Amino acid sequence: MATRAEGLRKAGFLAQHPEIGVVSSFFSIAAVFLVLVPDKFLTLPTFYSILTLAGELGVVSLGVAFLMITGEFNLSVSSVYALVPMGVAIMANMGVDMLLASVVMLALAYGIGVLVGYVTIKTGIPSFITSLGMMMFLRGILLAITGGFPVRLEHDHWLMYALNGPVGEQGLRTSAAWLVALTALLAFILDWTPYGNWTYAVGASPNTARELGVSVTKVKLLNFGLSSLLAGLAGLMALSRFKVVDPTLGQGLELEAITSAVLGGCLLTGGYGSITGTFLGAFLIAMTRVGLVLAKAPAYWYSAFIGVILIVATVINIFVVRKYVAGG
């Protein structure tokens, strides 16, 4: 089976580069904020603030994008994003080594993703429903355990600095390095390895992929697990930054992650997308949030932006892919 890169070699430029759309959007929105708040927007602290927000959102979005290319969703990532740091904080406060607690909770996160995938595959229930149910279940567990109150991390650990510690005095954090490294790794896997090709194939046509010898079930389960694992990792980054975990942490994050993936060229129907584009999508969303704060815009403008950009990006992606298929 040829690699994805070889498969799109003769496609149109837009079909080969799903991230082109988000790049053009990036420059357009950046231009708006340069006009509105020129003295505040184009500064190093602002850039670092954007990177900090993009770091956590981006890590979640990468896993969501990988799964969306397979043709599935995992809405429970927002609850896993809160569950992992909550579990680590509680165990660390009880005297458990933080590294051990983190490994245990990340393993649990991966298991939750695999469980959602298993139920989805075995029952035929759409992953939107199974993951929504898991999201609500986990959020209820968090509220029940904490009584609705936040949990503060009482002990510091080198792991917290490694995940999202400050670098210098301008606001840069190590989460930016994690995001860049994970983007490079997953982009390589997706576009240049057989497993990445299997992921695209499963999303485009599960039956055809199965006939070609691809284990559709295995690929989907692995990608479900990956999406939850990365959500848990991002949650630990949030714990490092805030040193406190609220049981409502991450509510709505699943929609922001999906929007990042769609901005990056991922189709809601699967089989198409870009990890690099998803990285840029997360950066664009973070830039918009920071820009609106600098412009002192009402908070609801951010939600309005997410809704509009999700619809527009989806329409553009469908148009590009249909044009490519019709031409191919």
For the stretch 24-62, what's the b/e string if a residue is b when 16 or more beta carbons lie within 10 angstroms of its beta carbon?
A: ebbeebbeebeeebeeebeeeebbbbbbbbbbbbbbbbb
pLDDT tens digits, 5-51: 444 444 555 556 666 667 777 788 888 888 888 888 888 888 888 99
Q: Is there a contact between 116 and 224 (Cβ–Cβ < 8 Å)? A: yes
**Tens digits of residue pLDDT in 220-256:** 999 999 999 999 999 999 999 989 999 999 999 999 9
- What distance in Å separates the CA atoms of residue 175 and residue 195, rounded to the nearest whole number? 26
* pLDDT for position 30: 84
Name all domains of the chain by residue range, CATH numbers in brackets.
4-327 (1.10.3470)
Indicate the pTM of the whole model. Answer: 0.90
Does residue 160 register a pLDDT over 90? no
pLDDT band at 3 (very low <50, low <70, confident <90, very high): very low
For residue 213, pLDDT beyond 70? yes
**Residue 19: per-residue pLDDT:** 66
Residues 82/230/24/299 CA torsion (nearest 10 deg): 0
The C-alpha atoms of residue 286 and residue 256 are separated, in whole angstroms, by 10
Residue 324: closest CA among 278, 239, 265: 265
pLDDT confidence of residue 7: 47
Number of neighbours of residue 169 by Cβ within 10 angstroms: 7
178 or 321, higher pLDDT: 178
As a whole number of angstroms, the distance between CA 32 and CA 22 comes to 15
pLDDT band at 75; cut points 50, 70, 90: very high
